[in-house]
Amino acid sequence: MSFETISVIGLGYIGLPTAAAFASRQKNVIGVDVNTHAVETINRGAIHIVEPDLDKVVKQAVEGGFLRAVTKPEAADAFLIAVPTPFKGDHEPDLAFVEAAARSVAPVLKKGDLVILESTSPVGATEQMAAWLAEARPDLTFPQQAGEESDIDIAYCPERVLPGKVMIELIQNDRVIGGMTPKSSARASELYKIFLEGECVVTNSRTAEMCKLTENSFRDVNIAFANELSLICAEQGINVWELIALANRHPRVNILQPGPGVGGHCIAVDPWFIVSQNPQQARLIHTARLVNDGKPLWVMDKVKAALADCLAASGKRAAEVKIACFGLAFKPDIDDLRESPAMEIAHMIAEWHTGQTLLVEPNIAQLPKKLVGHAELASTEEALRQADVLVMLVDHKQFKAIAADSVKQQFIVDTKGVWR
Ligand SMILES: NC(=O)c1ccc[n+]([C@@H]2O[C@H](COP(=O)([O-])OP(=O)(O)OC[C@H]3O[C@@H](n4cnc5c(N)ncnc54)[C@H](O)[C@@H]3O)[C@@H](O)[C@H]2O)c1
Ligand SMILES: CC(=O)N[C@@H]1[C@@H](OP(=O)(O)OP(=O)(O)OC[C@H]2O[C@@H](n3ccc(=O)[nH]c3=O)[C@H](O)[C@@H]2O)O[C@H](CO)[C@@H](O)[C@@H]1O
């Protein structure tokens, strides 16, 4: 059966680009989100999130009549669920949004529909989603009971786009297709081929779930290795940036870069899903999480030590000393401050320091609410002119372009090796 109408549930960083990609291929797309602000914004042809080039595609899709947003699911031939999957309690996966989305779709399902879970999920979540759907629709059959013959096909197809490059990677990346049955995989592949230039690689739903978690855990473990090296090098008086550049000259060594910690919405979250389900086995993955999550406090200790050195050398009181933080975003050259270790460190400094804290973030125009009253935004030039202690937190291109001779300060904590 072909896909005349496609519905995407959850119109955030993943769902909206996906909906827009189908609409750009002239498919009739119904986007569903419980957030009325998102729905109204999209229906005006605008976007409520920041992602390069997404605005143009959404505008064209809405103006062309191919994309409309609603707050409650309507009938469609395929449903893609891209709602949040945060953790709760002691880092356990929280499937409440997936359950709510599945239960909201259940009443409009009809024989022949395809349901795809895209949200990053623990192993078994797709089978759980099928069970919720089956419970809500006893009049239909689902893969778990009916296998290939089921009325509804179900697959897990994770998303692996890089924030900042979503509109390119969404189309070009290979896609893992984890059908609950071979027929589900075949239909999901047919659906993505509407816009996908990459390959559809077929497996089962549990392997596809684990594949997504594996990709982000691999990166987390590798960043933890670099962060651990930075701690060791600080003890040994070795420049970690030089060390990594030298070690990477080996043909089979490729160490990532240390930093202030790991941020964003995926790498600091997804490995916990593996740890939570396999606490006995996932020792390395667990330790990597702890190493990366511990980095902001380690940086804070370095800032305290730099301030102490500055006070000793200058004879000033702490209240007379200005500390400047360079960067707040969770990674370079973006404006996303959510789950950012740089924000966490800037906040700790601003709350603890009795003198002025200056924040330089070229990608934002307003001080984040959390920091109002504790710190102030400054330009790179102002910060370099006024501050006594410099803390480099994000290697934005503007900071990498600062001329070495314009940095006169002696007291520097450089978490990104910009001023190595
Ligand atoms: N952002 C990324 O870079 C990225 C990359 C790969 C995978 N993922 C995964 O994709 C999933 C979605 O992430 P995101 O970044 O798009 O999240 P997001 O918060 O940007 O968007 C999720 C949207 O879902 C909506 N929503 C919540 N419950 C709903 C419901 N019951 N019905 C309809 N809409 C509902 C929210 O209002 C929100 O607009 C997560 O599992 C995430 O881990 C994210
Ligand atoms: C496996 C992978 O690549 N997954 C990507 C990742 O996207 P992301 O934007 O979250 O990933 P990163 O760019 O790695 O940043 C994460 C944090 O790590 C810090 N970092 C990075 C490199 C380094 O050498 N040293 C560091 O310290 C950086 O500053 C930032 O805080 O997850 C998405 C959602 O699942 C995926 O879709 C997307 O493919």
Q: What does each of the 420 residues of the chain score in pLDDT, given as a tens digit?
A: 689 999 999 999 999 999 999 999 999 999 999 999 999 999 999 999 888 999 999 999 999 999 999 999 999 999 999 999 999 999 999 999 999 999 999 999 999 999 999 999 999 999 999 999 999 999 999 998 888 999 999 999 999 999 889 999 999 999 999 999 999 999 999 999 999 999 999 999 999 999 999 999 999 999 999 999 999 999 999 999 999 999 999 999 999 999 999 999 899 999 999 999 999 999 999 999 999 999 999 999 999 999 999 999 999 999 999 999 999 999 999 888 989 999 999 999 999 999 999 999 999 999 999 999 999 999 999 999 999 999 999 999 999 999 989 999 999 999 999 997
Instruction: Evaluate whether 5-198 and 223-414 have a shared fold.
Output: yes
Which atom belonging to ligand 1 lies closest to the Cα atom of 270?
43
Per the annotation, the verdict on 72 as an active-site residue is no
Q: Shortest CA distance to 332 belongs to which of 256, 264, 248, 406?
A: 264
Per the annotation, the verdict on 266 as an active-site residue is yes
Query: Which residue numbers belong to the known binding site?
Result: 13-14, 33, 85, 126, 160-161, 212, 216, 219, 250, 252, 263, 330-331, 338, 416
What are the residue ranges spanned by the domains of the chain? 5-198, 223-414
Ligand 1 centroid to residue 9 C-alpha, Å: 9
Is residue 211 classed as helix, strand or coil in its secondary structure?
helix
Provide the CATH number for the domain formed by 223-414 in this structure: 3.40.50.720
Would you say the C-alpha torsion 192, 197, 203, 205 has a positive or negative sign?
negative
Is the Cβ atom of 34 under 6 angstroms away from ligand 1?
A: yes
Is the Cβ atom of 32 under 6 angstroms away from ligand 1?
A: yes
Q: Which pLDDT value is given to residue 60? A: 98
> What is the bridge-based pairing of β-strands 200-204 and 323-326?
unpaired
Ligand 1 centroid to residue 55 C-alpha, Å: 18
Query: Which residue numbers belong to the known binding site for NAD(+)?
Result: 13-14, 33, 85, 126, 338
State which fold the 5-198 domain adopts: Rossmann fold (3.40.50)
Ligand nearest to the CA of 263: 2
ipTM score for this prediction:
0.98
Is the Cβ atom of 150 under 6 angstroms away from ligand 1?
A: no
Q: Which pLDDT value is given to residue 334? A: 87
User: Each residue of 183-220: b (16+ CB within 10 Å) or e?
Assistant: bbbbbbbbbbebbbeeebebbbbbebbbbbbebbbebb
Ligand 2 centroid to residue 120 C-alpha, Å: 15
Ligand 1 centroid to residue 98 C-alpha, Å: 10
Residue of 27, 157, 200, 212 with catalytic role: 212
∠ CA 192-149-82, nearest 5°, is 35
Q: Ligand 1: which residue has its CA nearest to atom 39?
A: 12
